[in-house]
């Protein structure tokens, strides 16, 4: 990596001051739970804003407390076990999962030192980047189907580089991007909920469902989080209402939810009760759930 700064965890001040001083690329390891907790909110904000050029944080400096802008844009590779990132950070990320080596797979031991071979490779990559900077800056590569908004932003540079290497590499890159994005755990709990409800609608039919029955259906899936929701207590009608309507739901949309609120419904053969009409979900499904995925993926960004 160019001007690589390899470290373990980091503070928000160290991050933006390092960017100003060195314009580095970060390789930050041991990041498993660094962004958890409200005390790391500032670091989350700096990392998230660094997804886009020309973003800054402003801090007061010196005895006179003069406001000074600090740029936050820089490449960041984060090493961690699992994918426990805040949804806003995860949506700005590309996940590359390492697999445990099988006993019959040959490996070459990595010496963890910057030897001449790595120095030569770095120099060649730097030369290539300089030669093609202008082309890449304005590149508009062909995107895989469904890649728009933030998903396209995440992949634009990589796919543009692949296209410069030739159409064969471009096609391989698009396939890899689609596979990695599909397997990514970047979808939020809210999007997972919408996708699971859409699946239930397809199976259940009708034009509405009671809250009681919808909660029961959601908790039937042993691979879904709903049976163990709220520290093992399970999803309730109230927590479902919070996730859909707003007011405490976890996930990317947070307390705002999706503006879907329960109302009195009239399912055939059942008594009137609080529940949801399927038509209430159509807008959210069209925005956040792809038609081809039962698990759901983010299709747009706030």
Q: Where are the domains of the chain?
A: 4-90, 116-183, 189-288
Residue percentage of the chain with pLDDT more than 70 = 90
Q: Look at residue 247 in the predicted model and tell me its pLDDT.
A: 53
b/e per residue 266-296 (b: at least 16 CB within 10 A): ebeeeeebebbbbebbeebbeebbbeebebb
pTM, 2 dp: 0.65
The predicted-structure confidence for 189-219, as pLDDT tens digits, reads as follows 888 899 999 999 999 999 999 999 999 999 9
Residue ranges of the alpha helices (H) in the chain? 12-22, 41-49, 87-90, 116-137, 149-165, 167-183, 189-204, 211-220, 237-245, 282-288
For the chain, the distance separating the N- and C-terminal CA atoms, rounded to the nearest angstrom, is: 31
Distance CA 40, CA 34 (A): 7
Distance CA 99, CA 107 (A): 13
Distance CA 25, CA 92 (A): 16
Closest CA to 275 of 224, 219, 201: 201
Specify burial of residue 300 (Cβ count, 10 A radius: 0-12, 13-18, 19+): exposed
Helix (H) or strand (E) holding 66: strand 66-71
Does residue 274 sit in helix, strand or coil? strand
Which of 23-27, 88-92, 107-111, 181-185 shows the lowest mean pLDDT across its residues?
A: 181-185
Q: Is the pLDDT of residue 251 over 70?
A: no
Go through the chain and tell me how many residues it has.
302
The predicted-structure confidence for 52-76, as pLDDT tens digits, reads as follows 888 999 999 999 999 999 999 999 9
- Token pair of 8, please? 């373990």
The answer to whether residues 237 and 211 touch, using CB atoms and an 8 Å cutoff, is: yes
């Amino acid at each position: 990596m160019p001007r690589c700064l390899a470290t373990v965890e980091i503070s928000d001040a160290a991050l933006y001051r390092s960017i100003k001083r060195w314009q580095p690329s970060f390789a930050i390891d041991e990041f498993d739970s660094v962004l958890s907790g409200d005390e790391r909110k500032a670091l989350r904000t700096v990392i998230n804003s660094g997804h886009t050029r020309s973003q800054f944080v402003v801090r007061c400096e010196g005895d006179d407390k003069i406001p000074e802008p600090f740029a936050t844009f820089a490449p960041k590779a984060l090493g961690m076990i699992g994918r426990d990132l805040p949804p806003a950070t995860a949506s700005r990320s590309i996940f590359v999962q390492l697999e445990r080596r099988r006993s019959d797979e040959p490996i070459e031991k990595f010496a963890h030192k910057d030897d001449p071979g790595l120095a030569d490779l770095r120099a060649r990559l730097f030369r290539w980047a300089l030669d093609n900077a202008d082309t890449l800056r304005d590149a508009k590569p062909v995107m895989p189907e469904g890649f728009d908004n933030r998903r396209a932003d995440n992949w634009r540079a990589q796919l543009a580089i692949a296209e410069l290497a030739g159409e064969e590499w471009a096609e391989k890159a698009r396939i890899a991007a689609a596979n990695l994005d599909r397997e990514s755990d970047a979808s939020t709990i809210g999007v997972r909920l919408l996708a699971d409800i859409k699946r239930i609608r397809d199976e259940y039919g009708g034009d509405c469902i009671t809250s009681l029955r919808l909660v029961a259906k959601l908790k039937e899936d042993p691979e879904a989080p709903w049976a163990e929701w709220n520290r093992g207590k399970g999803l309730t009608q109230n927590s479902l209402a919070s996730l859909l309507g707003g007011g405490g739901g976890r996930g990317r949309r947070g307390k705002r939810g999706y503006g879907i609120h329960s109302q009195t419904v009239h399912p055939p053969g059942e008594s009137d009760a609080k529940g949801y009409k399927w038509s209430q979900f159509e807008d959210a499904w069209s925005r956040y759930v792809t038609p081809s995925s039962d698990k759901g993926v983010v299709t747009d960004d706030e």
